[in-house]
Amino acid sequence: MSENVKERYHQCQNLECSATFKTHESIFEVIRSPVVDTKPEPLPTVPAAPRRVKGCYSSPFRH
């Protein structure tokens, strides 16, 4: 068996039967290969502008 084959064991759930068997599942053909994940370059970080609420009386923030 190769690394592309799965071997599974099964048992019938019917109590009167209880047959046990194994199956092989294999890859026949790859339709589409996985996409190579290329990470985009990080954006340059810009420092956040300080909040200006001082002297603004309509602001919901307390001074």
Instruction: Establish if 14 belongs to a structural domain.
Output: yes
> How confident is the model over 39-61, as a mean pLDDT?
71
pLDDT at 53: 64
Instruction: Establish if 32 belongs to a structural domain.
Output: no
Instruction: Establish if 15 belongs to a structural domain.
Output: yes
Instruction: Establish if 35 belongs to a structural domain.
Output: no
CA dist., res. 23 & res. 11, Å (int): 11
Instruction: Establish if 48 belongs to a structural domain.
Output: no
Instruction: Establish if 54 belongs to a structural domain.
Output: no
Query: Nearest 5°: phi and psi at 35?
Result: -80, 135
> How confident is the model over 29-35, as a mean pLDDT?
88
Instruction: Establish if 13 belongs to a structural domain.
Output: yes
**Structure tokens belonging to residue 13:** 């759930």
Most confident of 21-25, 36-40, 50-54: 21-25
Domain tally for the chain?
1
Range of the domain at 18: 1-27
Are 63 and 53 in contact by the 8 Å Cβ rule? The answer is: yes
Collect contacts of 8-17 with beta carbons under 8 A, ≥24 apart.
none
40 contact partners, CB below 8 Å, separation of at least 6:
none
pLDDT tens-digit readout, 16-31: 998 999 999 998 888 9
pLDDT at 45: 82
